[in-house]
């Protein structure tokens, strides 16, 4: 698999909130290639626990963090399993946590993963390639109504029913098994309205990726677990990349920071976004939003 450099988004801003110079145990809930984790360790974190559901990402993170290997613990797990991971290590409280949601550049641009319509390859899209159904399998086995609902819900694609109808019509003759096939079906199904800012297949690919990986399922609960595991005055930073994720982060933080039972203080009244310079250097930063909170009880 060809390696694609992954540049962490809003890393300087994230470190400003995380304050790793205080030392302690920090958790990178979605470690990816280790960009934020490197910044944490270089900034003074004492120990780091890194989770990822992608084994290839963990291997890349291990290389990136080799200088601190004796102080870094990498775990193949979804961050939704954080409670169990911490309990297994006898850890009650953590001194900070970061969750960089969504899909990484390695996954989007790496060969053979099926996340991108820029190449024609098997339609996989699983972050954890050792478990679960592939995108091709879900597309083959799902009804037209369910398929349309998923594309609309996770991609906010208003032409979802036309797209689902076209996919089902195509699969009657032959299975939809590659990214190129799926992209072509979506493009043909869309109304022809001249120039478009993004490729017509973009929202459908996003939707199916989120659906395959169940990215939004239990996200609010996972964020609550992170907040409850924080030590007093410890902070959590969450970077999201589309409105569905950001809405859940915003609502969860608000619920945990409200009333006499509040356990966090929200540090970002509005989400931070990348500077024009960072957006120019790293296109992935264009849709990123950062929210942060601090444990108060």
Does residue 21 sit in the same domain as residue 89? yes
Q: In whole angstroms, what is the distance from residue 119 CA to residue 102 CA?
A: 20
Q: Per residue in 220-279, pLDDT tens?
A: 999 999 999 999 999 999 999 999 999 999 999 999 999 989 999 999 999 999 999 999
Share of the chain above pLDDT 90, in %: 80
Which of 198, 213, 228 is at the close of a domain? 213
When pLDDT is averaged across residues 92-107 and rounded to a whole number, the result is: 85
pLDDT at 122 over 70: yes
Backbone angles phi, psi at 7, to 5 degrees: -100, 115
Does residue 205 sit in the same domain as residue 240? no
- For 133, the domain range is 120-213
Q: Is residue 1, in this structure, part of any structural domain at all?
A: no
Q: What's the burial of 227, exposed, middle or buried (CB within 10 Å: 0-12/13-18/19+)?
A: buried
Does residue 202 sit in the same domain as residue 247? no
Q: Per residue in 146-168, pLDDT tens?
A: 999 999 999 999 999 999 999 99
Does residue 192 sit in the same domain as residue 229? no
Confidence of residue 293 (pLDDT cuts 50, 70, 90): very high
Q: What is the pLDDT of residue 130?
A: 84
Does residue 124 sit in the same domain as residue 208? yes
Which of 213, 247, 271 is at the close of a domain? 213
Cβ contact 264:257 at 8 Å: yes
Q: What is the pLDDT of residue 2?
A: 41
pLDDT at 72 over 90: yes
Q: What is the domain count for the chain?
A: 2
Q: Per residue in 175-215, pLDDT tens?
A: 999 999 999 999 999 987 666 778 899 999 999 999 999 99
Does residue 128 sit in the same domain as residue 208? yes
CATH number at residue 247: 3.40.50.150
Q: What is the pLDDT of residue 71?
A: 98
Does residue 270 sit in the same domain as residue 194? no
Does residue 223 sit in the same domain as residue 281? yes
Does residue 205 sit in the same domain as residue 222? no
Q: What is the pLDDT of residue 3?
A: 45
Confidence of residue 4 (pLDDT cuts 50, 70, 90): very low
CATH number at residue 164: 1.10.150.170
Q: Is residue 109, in this structure, part of any structural domain at all?
A: no
pLDDT at 5 over 80: no
Q: Per residue in 268-278, pLDDT tens?
A: 999 999 999 99
Strand partners, 100: 239
């Amino acid at each position: 698999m060809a390696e694609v450099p992954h540049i962490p988004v809003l890393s300087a801003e994230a470190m400003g909130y995380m304050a790793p110079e205080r030392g302690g145990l920090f958790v990178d809930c979605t470690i990816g290639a280790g960009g934020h984790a490197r910044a944490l360790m270089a900034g003074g974190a004492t120990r780091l626990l890194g989770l990822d559901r992608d084994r290839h990402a963990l291997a890349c993170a291990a290389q990136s963090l080799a200088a601190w290997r004796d102080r870094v613990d990498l775990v193949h797990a979804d961050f939704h399993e954080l409670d169990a991971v911490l309990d297994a290590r006898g850890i009650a409280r953590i001194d900070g946590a970061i969750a960089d949601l969504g899909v990484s550049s390695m996954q989007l641009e790496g060969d053979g993963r099926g996340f991108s319509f820029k190449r024609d390859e098997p339609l996989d899209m699983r972050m954890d390639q050792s478990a679960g159904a592939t995108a091709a399998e879900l597309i083959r086995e799902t009804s037209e109504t369910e398929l349309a609902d998923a594309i609309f819900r996770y991609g906010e694609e208003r032409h979802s029913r036309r797209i689902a109808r076209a996919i089902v019509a195509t699969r009657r003759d032959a299975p939809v098994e590659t990214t190129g096939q799926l992209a072509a079906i979506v493009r043909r199904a869309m109304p022809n309205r001249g120039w478009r800012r993004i490729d017509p297949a973009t929202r459908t690919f996003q939707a199916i990726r989120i659906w395959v990986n169940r990215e939004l399922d239990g996200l609010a609960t996972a964020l609550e677990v992170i907040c409850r595991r924080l030590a007093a005055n410890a902070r959590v930073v969450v970077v999201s990349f589309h409105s569905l994720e950001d809405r859940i982060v915003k609502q969860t933080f608000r619920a945990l920071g409200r009333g006499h039972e509040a356990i966090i203080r929200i540090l970002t009244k509005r989400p931070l976004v990348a500077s024009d310079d960072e957006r120019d250097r790293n296109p992935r930063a264009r849709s990123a939003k950062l929210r942060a909170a601090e444990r108060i009880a």
